[in-house]
């Protein structure tokens, strides 16, 4: 499999990829992040400024990177909690009702009076091109104080993204680690992270473009990932789309392929991978390699259906793994 690294680097053996959770409640996952409602209009083309086009088709989906990851984790690990900010509007109420029906614990979701729930307005043209505008709303109202009020010791893994305030994410990472909880971060939308936050990240899951944005001065994503490890990150899992992923840690580099499927909708595939990775680390607490393979299978299966929240249950993922070969 082509992975964008040198042959010499590919030959370097990786040591045992340990991924045992440090949390006191093995098998319980907390996702801290965004909840957005995606409003999608498909038209023949994207309208020009000031232009109105008729004939579009409208769909509404549940989204937000945090919520996508919580949904995916919950398909594999039933003890999954969501912490987010929503408004006291109908969108927020409907989203919470939906998550409760999906058996995702929403007791830690904050409801902000007078705020609106996050919304993404998406225009999709006939050739697949899109234009997206996001109004984050209550997502940006989660504060460091909210993180300090959480009892992270009740969870084995805490999962974060960057669709909430950066200072809130950093405080959450620190509080989680101090409580003995393993941490997972998807650094998207990509931005520079404070250097003192890196040692609090056990698993960071960027794509090959995001990892370069995290580390200035690098052109090779493998070397950028290695530099993150030098700065204190435990494991860097670089997702490479149809080329699989690469794990970089103190033991070296190791690449993993993907399952050969016909994609229908790749939106949310990365979120599915990350949420499933956290669940996989609960299922295989001593084996990051098996967790990565499970996450790869879950994401591969998810893209065969429409919607960012299309992850399948554990039994279906395992059946898929037994019937397919990884490339």
**Enzyme catalytic residues:** 271
Per the document, the length of the chain is 327
The pair of structure tokens assigned to 16 is 């045992």
Distances (CA, A) of 81 to 11, 158, 206: 40, 10, 23
SS3 167: helix
Q: E strands, the chain, where?
A: 29-32, 36-42, 57-63, 80-83, 85-87, 110-112, 118-124, 130-135, 157-160, 182-185, 203-204, 235-239, 245-249, 252-256
Burial class (CB in 10 A: 0-12, 13-18, 19+), 54: exposed
Query: In 74-107, which positions are buried (b, 16+ CB within 10 angstroms) versus exposed (e)?
Result: bbbbbbbbbbbbbbebebbeebbeebeebebbbe
- Strand order, beta sheet including 157-160: 80-83, 29-32, 157-160, 182-185, 203-204, 235-239, 245-249, 252-256
């Amino acid at each position: 499999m082509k992975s964008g690294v040198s042959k010499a680097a590919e030959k370097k053996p990786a040591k045992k990829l340990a991924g045992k959770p440090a949390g006191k409640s093995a098998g319980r996952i907390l996702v801290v992040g965004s909840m957005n409602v995606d409003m999608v209009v498909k038209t023949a083309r994207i309208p020009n400024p000031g232009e109105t086009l008729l004939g579009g088709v409208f769909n509404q989906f549940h989204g937000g990177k945090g919520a996508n990851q919580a949904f995916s984790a919950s398909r594999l690990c039933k003890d999954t909690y969501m912490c987010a900010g929503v408004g006291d509007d109908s969108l927020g109420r409907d989203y919470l009702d939906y998550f409760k029906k999906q058996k995702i614990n929403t007791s830690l979701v904050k409801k902000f009076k007078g705020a609106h729930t996050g919304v993404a307005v998406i225009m999709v043209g006939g050739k697949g091109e899109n234009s997206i505008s996001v109004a984050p709303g209550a997502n940006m109202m989660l504060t460091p104080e909210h993180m300090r009020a959480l009892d992270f010791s009740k969870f084995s893994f805490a999962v974060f993204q960057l669709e909430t305030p950066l200072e809130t994410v950093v405080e959450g990472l620190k509080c989680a680690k101090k409580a003995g909880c393993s941490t997972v971060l998807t650094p998207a939308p990509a931005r520079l992270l404070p250097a003192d936050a890196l040692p609090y990240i056990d698993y960071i899951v960027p794509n090959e473009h995001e990892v370069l944005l995290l580390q200035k001065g690098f052109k090779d994503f493998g070397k950028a990932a290695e530099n993150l490890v030098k700065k204190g990150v435990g494991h860097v899992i670089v997702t490479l789309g149809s080329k699989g992923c690469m794990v970089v840690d103190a033991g070296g580099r190791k690449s993993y392929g993907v399952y050969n499927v016909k994609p229908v909708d790749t939106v949310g595939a990365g979120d599915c991978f990350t949420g499933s990775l956290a669940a996989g680390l609960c299922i295989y607490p001593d084996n990051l390699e098996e967790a990565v393979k499970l996450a790869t299978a879950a994401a591969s299966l998810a893209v065969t259906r429409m919607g960012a929240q299309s992850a399948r249950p554990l039994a279906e993922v395992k059946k898929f793994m037994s019937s397919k070969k990884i490339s």
